[in-house]
Structure 1
Amino acid sequence: MTTQKWVHLFFKTLFLGAIAAIVTSFFVKTDSYTMFMDPINVWELFGALIWFMGIGFLFSVVSQTGFFAYLFLNRFGLNIFRGFWRPVQMVLIAFVLFDLVYFPYQSAGDDANLGPYVLTALVLFLYGMAVAYFKAKETNQKAFLPAVFFMVVVTVIEWVPVLRTNQVDWMWLMIVPLLVCNTYQLMQLHRLTRPNEEKPAVTAQSRNTNSNVK
Structure 2
Amino acid sequence: MTDRLPQMLRADARDNRERVLEVARTLFSEKGIDVTMREIARRAEVGPATLYRRFPTKQMLIDAAFADELRLCREIVDDGCADPDPWRGFCSVIERISVLNGRNQGFVDAFGAANPELGSFAEHRGALLRKLADLAGRAKAAGLRRDFVIDDLVLVLMAGRGLSSAPPSGREAAARRFAALAIDAFRDSPANADLPRPARLVAGVVRPTAV
The answer, yes or no, to whether TM exceeds 0.5 is: no
Q: TM-score, normalised by structure 2?
A: 0.29
Which has the larger helix fraction?
Answer: 1
> Greater RCO between the two (CA within 8 Å, min separation 6)?
1
Structure whose CA Rg is larger: 1
